[in-house]
Structure 1
């Protein structure tokens, strides 16, 4: 889905977090500062859709991804609090897998 090995070394220095999420599931990073500009990349595989929701303070972005399409959804996000939560939900929880990468948006 998302391949960290094909990314330039400069991207690795800006990496904030990456991983996969259970459905439903959430990862929380409480080390990030408010006002941090980020690039979020989300993907899924399988049969169905996943809605990824990124939240920090009052800032919130939701991105619905079709898992049958081999593409990565990318969007910019600026934190509005001292934490970053990434959540994944799907009505097809038994037939999808997820991946995400969060990096500094330079």
Structure 2
């Protein structure tokens, strides 16, 4: 009988070690969760064919990058009256509104992140700076990219 009690007390130990193995399996399952912001930003940069680091040798290149959502990048080296081509892209779930502002000039472009395509528009600066902003109601589910070139 005493050996039966020893056997029954030994039986619960394997499930306890099984629980410990299950807890170590949980962190392994976490990396298979949906892509993070960095991954989504890279997907958006890929849509614009942006390289890391940016190709500064490209003719007409002004700036490029990803934007936090909500967020803004500011370039204070642009001259007023500069004609630019602005290309934007996003990846993920939802939409992003990209807004470009220079002095009194302002253009907004809403982009559907579920569609793997870019959107572009011409923009002429009206001041000595250029601000590119991104905003989205789904800020944790989108990645962004933009590219600005001289026309």
TM over 0.5: yes
Query: Unaligned regions of 5+ residues in structure 1, if any?
Result: none
Equivalent-residue separation in structure 2 for 1:43 and 1:4 (angstroms): 11
Q: Give the deviation of 1:33 after TM superposition.
A: 0.1
State the partner residue of 1:16.
62
State the partner residue of 1:50.
96
Which structure is higher in strand share? Answer: 1
User: CA offsets per residue over residues 25-62 of structure 1, 9 Å max, x none?
Assistant: 00000000000000000000000000000000000000
Please state if 1:102 is matched with 2:102: no
State the partner residue of 2:114.
68
Which structure is higher in helix share? Answer: 2
User: CA offsets per residue over residues 47-99 of structure 1, 9 Å max, x none?
Assistant: 00000000000000000000000110010000000000000000000000000
Secondary structure of 1:94's match? helix
Q: Give the deviation of 1:2 after TM superposition.
A: 1.4
RMSD: 1.3
Q: Give the deviation of 1:13 after TM superposition.
A: 2.1
Q: Give the deviation of 1:12 after TM superposition.
A: 1.1
Q: How many equivalent pairs are there?
A: 101
Secondary structure of 1:3's match? coil
Query: Unaligned regions of 5+ residues in structure 2, if any?
Result: 1-46
Q: Higher relative CO (CA 8 A, sep ≥ 6), structure 1 or 2?
A: 1
Structure number, greater radius of gyration: 2
